[in-house]
A and B are shown apart, each in its own frame.
Chain A
Amino acid sequence: MDFPILSAVTFLPLAGAVLIMLVRSLAGSTSEDTVDNRVLYCGVVFSIATFLVSLVMLFGFDRDNPAYQMTEQIDWFSEISYKMGVDGLSVSLILLTTFLTPIALIASLGSIQHRLTEYVVAFLILETFMIGVFCALDLILFYVFFEAGLIPMFIIIGVWGGVDRIYASFKFFLYTLLGSLFMLAAIVYMYLSAGSSDVVILENFEFGTGAQTWLWLAFFASFAVKLPMWPVHTWLPDAHVQAPTAGSVILAGVLLKMGGYGLLRFSLPMFPDASELFQPMVFVLSVIAIVYASLVAWRQTDMKKLIAYSSVAHMGFVTLGIFSFTEIGVQGAVFQMLSHGLISGALFLIVGVVYDRMHTREISAYGGLVSRMPIYASLFMLFTMANVGLPGTSGFVGEILTMVGAFQASTWAAAGAALGVIFSAIYMLTLYRRTVFGEITNPDVDVLKDVNFKELVCLVPLAIGTLLFGVMPNLIFDLTRESSLRVLAMMAGG
Chain B
Amino acid sequence: MFDLHAMNLAFGSEIFLIVAGLAGVLAGALLGDKFNTLSFRFGAVSLVIAAIWVALAPQGAVAFGGLLATGPFVNFAKVVAYLSAAIALMMADGFLGRHGLKRYEYSLLIIFASVGIGVMLSSANLMTLYLGVETLSLSSYVLASFHRDSQRSAEAGLKYFVLGALASGLLLYGMSLVYGFAGGTSYAEIAAAEPGIGLLFGMVLMITGLAFKVSAAPMHVWTPDVYEGAPSPVVAFFATAPKMASMVVFAVILYVAFPQPEAFKNWQLIISIIAITSMLVGAFGALLQTNLKRLLGYSSIANMGYGLVAIAAGAEYGAQALLIFMSAYVVASIGLFGGVLSMHREGGMVESISELSGLARYRPAFAMALSVLIISVAGFPLAFGFLGKLAIFEAALSAGLIPLIVVLVLSSVIAFGYYLRLILVIWVNEPAAPFEKVDGWVTGTVFLAALASIALFIFVSPFSDLAGAAAASLIL
Bound Cα distance from A185 to B407, whole angstroms: 12
A residues 51-92 touching B (CB-CB < 8 Å): 75-78
Q: Is A219 interfacial (CB 8 A cutoff)?
A: no
Task: For A77, list chain B residues within 8 Å (CB).
Answer: 387, 460-461, 464-465
A143 with B362: CB separation less than 8 A: no
A181 with B412: CB separation less than 8 A: yes
B424 with A166: CB separation less than 8 A: yes
Task: For B424, list chain A residues within 8 Å (CB).
Answer: 158, 166, 169
Bound Cα distance from A192 to B313, whole angstroms: 14
The one of B361, B365, B427, B465 in contact with A158, judged by C-beta atoms closer than 8 angstroms, is B427
What is the predominant secondary structure among interface residues of chain A facing chain B?
helix
The one of A25, A177, A191 in contact with B365, judged by C-beta atoms closer than 8 angstroms, is A25
Task: For A159, list chain B residues within 8 Å (CB).
Answer: 427-428
Task: For B465, list chain A residues within 8 Å (CB).
Answer: 77
Q: Is A178 interfacial (CB 8 A cutoff)?
A: yes
The one of A21, A75, A158 in contact with B461, judged by C-beta atoms closer than 8 angstroms, is A75
B427 with A144: CB separation less than 8 A: no
Q: Is A8 interfacial (CB 8 A cutoff)?
A: no
Q: How large is the interface on A (under 10, 10 to 19, 20 to 34, 35 or more residues)?
A: 35 or more
B461 with A185: CB separation less than 8 A: no
Task: For A21, list chain B residues within 8 Å (CB).
Answer: 364
Q: Is A30 interfacial (CB 8 A cutoff)?
A: yes
Bound Cα distance from A154 to B397, whole angstroms: 30
The one of A76, A118, A145, A188 in contact with B460, judged by C-beta atoms closer than 8 angstroms, is A76
Bound Cα distance from A148 to B393, whole angstroms: 18
Q: Is B469 interfacial (CB 8 A cutoff)?
A: no
Say whether, besides A140-B390, A166-B424, A184-B390, A174 and B417 are in contact (CB < 8 Å): yes
Q: Encode contact with A along B385-412: 1 for CB under 8 Å, 0 otherwise.
A: 0110010011001100000010001101
Q: How large is the interface on B (under 10, 10 to 19, 20 to 34, 35 or more residues)?
A: 20 to 34
A residues 176-201 touching B (CB-CB < 8 Å): 177-178, 181-182, 184-185, 188-189, 191-192
Closest chain A CB from B302 CB (angstroms): 14
Bound Cα distance from A118 to B367, whole angstroms: 12
The one of A115, A118, A185 in contact with B409, judged by C-beta atoms closer than 8 angstroms, is A185
Q: Is A356 interfacial (CB 8 A cutoff)?
A: no
Task: For B394, list chain A residues within 8 Å (CB).
Answer: 188, 191-192
Closest chain B CB from A317 CB (angstroms): 30
B382 with A148: CB separation less than 8 A: yes
Task: For B416, list chain A residues within 8 Å (CB).
Answer: 173-174, 177
Q: Is A373 interfacial (CB 8 A cutoff)?
A: no
Say whether, besides A154-B420, A173-B416, A118 and B397 are in contact (CB < 8 Å): no
Q: Is A147 interfacial (CB 8 A cutoff)?
A: yes
Say whether, besides A25-B364, A30-B362, A32-B361, A177 and B397 are in contact (CB < 8 Å): no
A185 with B413: CB separation less than 8 A: no
Bound Cα distance from A173 to B364, whole angstroms: 23
A residues 156-175 touching B (CB-CB < 8 Å): 158-159, 166, 169-170, 173-174
The one of A78, A143, A169, A188 in contact with B397, judged by C-beta atoms closer than 8 angstroms, is A188
Task: For A140, list chain B residues within 8 Å (CB).
Answer: 390
B residues 443-462 touching A (CB-CB < 8 Å): 460-461
Task: For B375, list chain A residues within 8 Å (CB).
Answer: 151
Bound Cα distance from A151 to B382, whole angstroms: 11
Q: Is A155 interfacial (CB 8 A cutoff)?
A: yes
Task: For A191, list chain B residues within 8 Å (CB).
Answer: 394
B464 with A78: CB separation less than 8 A: yes
Q: How many A-B residue pairs have CB under 8 A?
A: 80
Say whether, besides A147-B381, A188-B397, A173 and B420 are in contact (CB < 8 Å): yes
B residues 425-476 touching A (CB-CB < 8 Å): 427-428, 460-461, 464-465
Bound Cα distance from A83 to B90, whole angstroms: 41
A residues 29-60 touching B (CB-CB < 8 Å): 30, 32
Q: Is B226 interfacial (CB 8 A cutoff)?
A: no
Closest chain A CB from B97 CB (angstroms): 29
B390 with A182: CB separation less than 8 A: no
Task: For B428, list chain A residues within 8 Å (CB).
Answer: 155, 158-159, 166
Q: Is B360 interfacial (CB 8 A cutoff)?
A: yes
A76 with B397: CB separation less than 8 A: no
The one of B361, B413, B427 in contact with A178, judged by C-beta atoms closer than 8 angstroms, is B413
Closest chain B CB from A376 CB (angstroms): 33
Closest chain A CB from B460 CB (angstroms): 5
Task: For B364, list chain A residues within 8 Å (CB).
Answer: 21, 25, 118
The chain B residue with its CB closest to the CB of A193 is: B397
Bound Cα distance from A182 to B381, whole angstroms: 15
Closest chain A CB from B367 CB (angstroms): 10
Closest chain B CB from A244 CB (angstroms): 13
Closest chain B CB from A185 CB (angstroms): 5
The one of A32, A75, A174 in contact with B413, judged by C-beta atoms closer than 8 angstroms, is A174
Q: Is B130 interfacial (CB 8 A cutoff)?
A: no
The chain A residue with its CB closest to the CB of B457 is: A144
Of listed A75, A147, A173, A181, residue having the most chain B CB within 10 A: A181
Closest chain B CB from A488 CB (angstroms): 31
Q: Is B380 interfacial (CB 8 A cutoff)?
A: yes
The chain A residue with its CB closest to the CB of B387 is: A77
Task: For A76, list chain B residues within 8 Å (CB).
Answer: 460-461
Closest chain B CB from A165 CB (angstroms): 8
Bound Cα distance from A48 to B57, whole angstroms: 54
Closest chain A CB from B461 CB (angstroms): 4
The chain B residue with its CB closest to the CB of A144 is: B381
B397 with A189: CB separation less than 8 A: yes
Closest chain A CB from B344 CB (angstroms): 20
B390 with A188: CB separation less than 8 A: yes
Of listed A30, A77, A189, residue having the most chain B CB within 10 A: A77
Bound Cα distance from A177 to B387, whole angstroms: 16
A144 with B398: CB separation less than 8 A: no
A177 with B381: CB separation less than 8 A: no
Say whether, besides A118-B360, A151-B375, A184-B393, A144 and B382 are in contact (CB < 8 Å): yes
Closest chain B CB from A265 CB (angstroms): 18
Say whether, besides A30-B362, A166-B424, A192-B398, A144 and B409 are in contact (CB < 8 Å): no
Closest chain A CB from B437 CB (angstroms): 15
A residues 308-339 touching B (CB-CB < 8 Å): none
The chain A residue with its CB closest to the CB of B380 is: A147
Closest chain B CB from A82 CB (angstroms): 9
B residues 109-154 touching A (CB-CB < 8 Å): none
The chain B residue with its CB closest to the CB of A178 is: B413
The one of B360, B361, B386, B461 in contact with A144, judged by C-beta atoms closer than 8 angstroms, is B386
A148 with B397: CB separation less than 8 A: no
Task: For B397, list chain A residues within 8 Å (CB).
Answer: 185, 188-189, 192
A selection of 30 A-B contacts at a CB cut-off of 8 Å is A25-B364, A76-B461, A77-B461, A77-B464, A115-B361, A118-B360, A118-B364, A118-B427, A144-B381, A144-B382, A144-B386, A145-B381, A148-B382, A151-B375, A151-B382, A151-B423, A154-B423, A158-B424, A158-B427, A159-B427, A166-B424, A177-B413, A177-B416, A181-B409, A184-B390, A185-B393, A185-B397, A188-B397, A191-B394, A192-B397
Beyond the given A76-B460, A155-B427, A188-B394, please list 6 additional residue pairs across the A-B interface where CB-CB is below 8 A: A30-B362, A143-B381, A148-B380, A173-B416, A181-B412, A185-B405
Interface residues of A, Cβ cutoff 8 Å to B: 21, 25, 30, 32, 75-78, 115, 118, 140, 143-145, 147-148, 151, 154-155, 158-159, 166, 169-170, 173-174, 177-178, 181-182, 184-185, 188-189, 191-192
